[in-house]
Amino acid sequence: MKNLYPERFFYLGIVKGQKKEKLFKESSIFILPTFYKTEAFPLTIIEAMYFGNAIITTDHNYLSDVVKPNNGFLIEKNRQKKLLKR
* CA contacts within 13 A on the Cβ side of 6: 2
Q: pLDDT, tens digit, for every residue of 1-34?
A: 455 556 667 778 899 999 999 999 999 999 888 8
The amino acid at residue 7 is E
Residue 55: predicted pLDDT: 95
Query: Within 10 A of 48 (CB to CB), how many other CB atoms are there?
Result: 26
SS3 category, 29: strand
Query: Within 10 A of 24 (CB to CB), how many other CB atoms are there?
Result: 19
SS3 category, 85: helix
Is the pTM higher than 0.85? no
Who has greater pLDDT, 32 or 54?
Answer: 54
For the chain, what are the domain ranges? Answer: 17-85
